[in-house]
Structure 1
Amino acid sequence: MKIAIEEHLKCTEFPRVGVAVAKSGKLLATGYRGETKSVHAERVAIRKLTDEQIKGATVYTTLEPCVELHTDQKTSSCAQLLIDSGVNEVVIGVLDPNGTIYSQGYRKLLENNINVSFFNRKLRAAVEEESFDCGNIHKIYGCGKRRVPVVHSGNEIEVQFSETDERTIDIKWATLQSTHGCVDLHGCNGSVLVAAGARNFGDISDPTVFRFPSHYTRMRKGDIAIVKPSSSTFYVLIQVVEIFDNDIIFKWEVRNDK
């Protein structure tokens, strides 16, 4: 596990992925995303081995192996590569937060009788922090833009004012309906306001001009909401940038409450 993490730290692009392949207690090969241009880390490592070497091996990968994203994909997914290679076990650092992949690679390996386990909790936290350009997918700071999955019961996110200012506001994305082009933004009771008519954050000078607070709002692409719990000394502006089948892209900005 630690060797796989050492490999993923060599990556110069996100998401970082590192792989180590072992059998009978012996390290056989390593690889990382970017070691070979446009080749995923699992494939980089496996290409260094013979068919006999990889068969029955254990593969340690810091990120869940990918699955096919479309039917006419020219290169097989990493999950399929591992299955076809005859590996015995795959040890995963973290599940891919991309909603189109999330838990699908894990499930595909299990369905093909490959043993799957996970890094220990401490190492998972280290991988989570270093794998993605946005760090922990459940915590964001200040202002920015990111893509998050919205699956099952939703995605809870803590918005911290800055890395040095520990004031926080909790939000949650839920009930994604990509076919209808909408997703629900939740806050604590009465903390969510719709910034009706605003097209960008610069249009909003005073959040209190907007009425009808609620615990959630249904948002479409371009919509802006304000989350301001009554006890908070700051508020968060949130805009939906894009909506996909299992993911959304949103941007946010924190402001002190004057």
Structure 2
Amino acid sequence: MKLAIEEHLKCSEYPRVGVVIAKSGEVLSTGYRGETRGVHAERVAIRKISDEEVQGSTVFTTLEPCVELHDEQEIKSCAQLLIDSGVQEVVIGVLDPNGTIYSQGYRKLLENNINVGFFNRRLREAVEEETFEFGDIHKVYASGKRRIPVVHSGTDIEVQFSKSDERIINIKWATLQHNHGCVDLSSSNGSVRVAAGARDFGDISDPMVFRFPSHFARMKKGMIAIVKPANTTFFVLIQLLDIFENDIIFKWAVRNDR
């Protein structure tokens, strides 16, 4: 597991992925995302050894192996590659938060009689911090842009004013309806306002001029919302940038309340 993390830290692009293939206590090969341009880490490591060596091996990967994203995909997914290569066991660092992949690679391996284990909790936390460009998907600071999954009951996020200022506003993305092009943004009751007509954060000089506060806003691409729970001394501006079948991209910025 530690060797896989060492490979993972060699990556210069996100998401970082490191892989180690071992058998009978011996490391057979390693690989990381970006070692060969455009090739996933699992495939990089498998290409370094023979078909016979791969069979019956254990693969340690810091990120859940990917699955096919569409029927016409020309290159088989990493999960399918591991299955076809005769791997006996796969040990995973973290499940992929991409809503299209989340738990699907894990499930596919199990359905094909491959043993699946996970890194211990301490190492999972280390992987989580270093795998994705923005770190923990459930906490954000100050301002930025992020792609997150919105599946099942939704995704809760803490927006902290800054790393040195611990004031927090909680938001939640839920009820993603890709076919209708909308997703719900909520916070504590009566704290969400839609900045109707605003095209960017710079258009908003005073968030309280926008009427009709609610406990949630049904957001479509390009819409901006303002989240300010009662008794908070700052507010969060949020804009939905894009929406996918299981994921969204949004940006945010915090402002002190005047």
State whether TM-score is above 0.5.
Answer: yes
TM-score, with structure 2 as normaliser: 0.98
Match of 1:86? 86
Match of 2:76? 76
Give deviations 1:17-67, integer Å, cap 9, x for gaps.
Answer: 000111111111110001111110000111111111111111110011011
C-alpha separation in 1, matches of 2:31 and 2:225:
43
Q: Does 1:39 align with 2:50?
A: no
Match of 1:243? 243
Q: Does 1:109 align with 2:105?
A: no
Say which SS state the counterpart of residue 35 (structure 1) adopts.
coil
Amino acid at match of 2:205: S
Percent of residue pairs bearing the same amino acid type:
76
1:1-258 equivalences under 5 Å are: 1-258=1-258
1:201 CA drift (Å) = 0.6
Give deviations 1:128-171, integer Å, cap 9, x for gaps.
Answer: 11011111111111111111100000011111111121111111
Structure 1: state its 5+ residue gaps.
none
1:231 CA drift (Å) = 2.2
C-alpha separation in 2, matches of 1:38 and 1:14:
12
TM-score, with structure 1 as normaliser: 0.98
Amino acid at match of 1:69: L
C-alpha separation in 2, matches of 1:122 and 1:221:
38
Amino acid at match of 2:115: N
C-alpha separation in 1, matches of 2:32 and 2:231:
46
Amino acid at match of 1:23: K
C-alpha separation in 2, matches of 1:203 and 1:37:
41
Say which SS state the counterpart of residue 108 (structure 2) adopts.
helix
Give deviations 1:99-147, integer Å, cap 9, x for gaps.
Answer: 1111111111111111111111111111111011111111111111111
1:235 CA drift (Å) = 0.5
1:7 CA drift (Å) = 0.3
Amino acid at match of 2:22: A
Say which SS state the counterpart of residue 69 (structure 1) adopts.
coil
Give deviations 1:186-220, integer Å, cap 9, x for gaps.
Answer: 10111111111111111111111112211111110
Amino acid at match of 1:156: D
Aligned residues: 258
Could you list the structure 1 runs, at least 4 aligned residues long, displaced by more than 2 angstroms after superposition: none
Say which SS state the counterpart of residue 230 (structure 1) adopts.
coil
Amino acid at match of 2:7: E
Amino acid at match of 1:143: S
C-alpha separation in 1, matches of 2:166 and 2:30:
39
Give deviations 1:71-96, integer Å, cap 9, x for gaps.
Answer: 22111100000000111111111111
Amino acid at match of 1:54: V
- Report the aligned-residue RMSD: 0.9
Say which SS state the counterpart of residue 189 (structure 1) adopts.
coil
Say which SS state the counterpart of residue 66 (structure 2) adopts.
coil
